[in-house]
């Protein structure tokens, strides 16, 4: 190379390097994940039951997340507190049984970063179905295992199988329901439906049942500082349900849906209404298209309202006579709790755990 060509080439490289340094100095560092504050959001029972400990579900999960634990491991550890607490009769041990007095449990979980999911339905004898759902995700090529197969799988994974998950409280309520309802109810599905609802309303009026927990369930979603999103839903399902009934909780896209790039949504309330529209999937798709968590959730509530046309499911105002709640979290750490009718949800941030009001779509009460 000639000397003047070498000098020209060297000078050009020096100018390019200088320009690059100047450009970097003028351009702010973009570190989106650094601005994400960890959040855990759940149904209201996630900030109520402690199973004798000193932390609620959302507090336990948030603490583990901020200490560096995997997000899904943290959420499941949180819901385990509720599943194992005999005082909560909507999930796990002591969950309200089916029409035959048998506790059948459902659960599913989704891991955003790993793009994996697992679930179980109608599983009997295992207090923590969320942990079995996680094993389905981790140890199999399947997304859902049900009934006896789910119990056999749990046994093979080392879970203790118990003969009866009823507590004295849940069995007492089942016997009271059985006493009040027509003993031949199961032979006449139409009569059973009407009688079951009538007796359910009687027991609520008598203070035996909490109307917010007739449908059971806890959903819990979380995001860490890296923007990693996961979710889990677990339930004992509709109280006094037909044996074998599966609601929305273990179904991906209904009781729970997670997309690692967009966010998570889960639901509690009338599962059949949520199943029909796969509303958790709808909520997350709304997040993907730029909607806020609140607007994304309310859009799903509108879908449910529009699809509810059967007279038996409508109140005197012509609106749904049941509630459905959504717990929505995007990958930026923004969240919202929304519902058909006014309700509450739980959340834990750096400010600690708290229970706050949901954003309702409709005014009044479902039964009005």
Model confidence pLDDT, tens digit, residues 27-58: 333 334 558 999 999 999 999 999 999 999 99
Q: Tell me the C-alpha distance between 66 and 260, whole Å.
A: 18
318 by DSSP, 3-state: which? coil
What pLDDT, on the 0 to 100 scale, is given for residue 212? 54
CA angle 329, 330, 333 (to 5 degrees): 85
46: Cβ contacts below 8 Å, ≥ 6 apart: 56, 57, 58, 78, 79, 82, 218, 220, 346
Question: For residue 257, what are the β-bridge partners?
Answer: 265
Give the containing element (helix H, strand E) for 293.
Answer: helix 293-307
Q: Are 107 and 232 in contact (CB under 8 A)?
A: yes
CATH of domain 37-360: 3.60.20.30
Q: Tokens 């954003």: give the residue.
A: 359
Give the containing element (helix H, strand E) for 89.
Answer: none
Q: Are 342 and 336 in contact (CB under 8 A)?
A: no
**Structure tokens given for 279:** 């509303």
Q: What is the dihedral of CA 56, 58, 60, 62, to 10 degrees?
A: -160
What pLDDT, on the 0 to 100 scale, is given for residue 184? 46
**pTM given for the model:** 0.85
What pLDDT, on the 0 to 100 scale, is given for residue 81? 98
Please state, as a whole number, how many other Cβ atoms lie within 10 Å of the Cβ of residue 208: 13
From residue 275, alpha-carbon distances to 54, 90, 221, 296 in Å are: 35, 19, 19, 17
Please state, as a whole number, how many other Cβ atoms lie within 10 Å of the Cβ of residue 115: 10
**Structure tokens given for 282:** 């709808």
Low-confidence residues of the chain: pLDDT under 70: 1-34, 182-201, 203-216
147: Cβ contacts below 8 Å, ≥ 6 apart: 121, 122, 123, 244
Give, to the nearest 10 degrees, the angle between helix 147-156 and helix 129-139.
Answer: 80
What pLDDT, on the 0 to 100 scale, is given for residue 215? 56
Nearest to 266 by CA among 281, 276, 277: 281
21: Cβ contacts below 8 Å, ≥ 6 apart: none
Q: Which residues are catalytic?
A: 217
- Sorted by where each begins, the domain ranges of the chain are 37-360
Burial class (CB in 10 A: 0-12, 13-18, 19+), 104: buried
How many Cα neighbours within 13 Å face the side chain of 177?
A: 27
Nearest to 280 by CA among 305, 304, 315: 304
């Amino acid at each position: 190379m000639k000397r003047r060509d070498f000098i020209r080439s060297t000078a050009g490289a020096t100018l390019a390097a200088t320009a690059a340094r100047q450009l970097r100095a003028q351009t702010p560092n973009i570190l989106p994940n650094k601005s994400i504050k960890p959040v855990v959001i759940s149904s209201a029972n996630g900030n109520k039951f402690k199973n004798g400990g000193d932390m609620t579900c959302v507090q336990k999960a948030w603490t583990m997340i901020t200490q560096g634990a995997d997000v899904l491991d943290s959420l499941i550890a949180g819901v385990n507190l509720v599943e194992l607490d005999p005082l909560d009769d909507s999930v796990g041990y002591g969950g309200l049984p089916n029409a035959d007095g048998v506790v059948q449990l459902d659960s599913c979980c989704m891991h955003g970063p790993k793009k994996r999911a697992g679930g179980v339905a109608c599983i009997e004898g295992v207090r923590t179905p969320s942990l079995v759902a996680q094993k389905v995700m981790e140890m199999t090529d399947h997304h859902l295992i049900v009934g006896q197969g789910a119990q056999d799988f749990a046994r093979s994974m080392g879970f203790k199988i118990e003969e009866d998950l009823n507590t004295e409280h849940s069995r007492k309520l089942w016997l009271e329901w059985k006493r009040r309802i027509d003993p031949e109810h199961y032979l006449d599905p139409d009569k059973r439906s009407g009688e079951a609802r009538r007796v359910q309303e009687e027991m609520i009026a008598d203070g035996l049942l909490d109307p917010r927990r007739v449908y059971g369930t806890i959903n819990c979603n979380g995001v860490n500082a890296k923007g990693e999103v996961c979710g889990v839903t677990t339930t004992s399902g509709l109280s006094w349900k037909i044996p074998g009934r599966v609601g929305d909780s273990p179904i991906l896209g209904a009781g729970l849906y997670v997309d690692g790039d967009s966010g998570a949504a889960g639901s509690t309330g009338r599962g059949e209404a949520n199943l029909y529209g796969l509303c958790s999937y709808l909520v997350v798709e709304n997040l993907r298209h730029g909607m806020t968590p609140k607007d994304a959730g309310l859009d799903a509530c509108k879908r449910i309202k529009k699809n509810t046309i059967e007279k038996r499911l409508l109140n005197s105002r012509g609106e749904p006579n049941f509630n459905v709640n959504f717990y929505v979290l995007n990958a930026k750490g923004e969240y919202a709790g929304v519902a058909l009718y006014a309700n509450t949800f739980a959340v834990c941030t750096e400010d600690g755990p708290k229970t706050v009001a949901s954003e309702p779509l409709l005014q009044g009460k479902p039964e009005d």
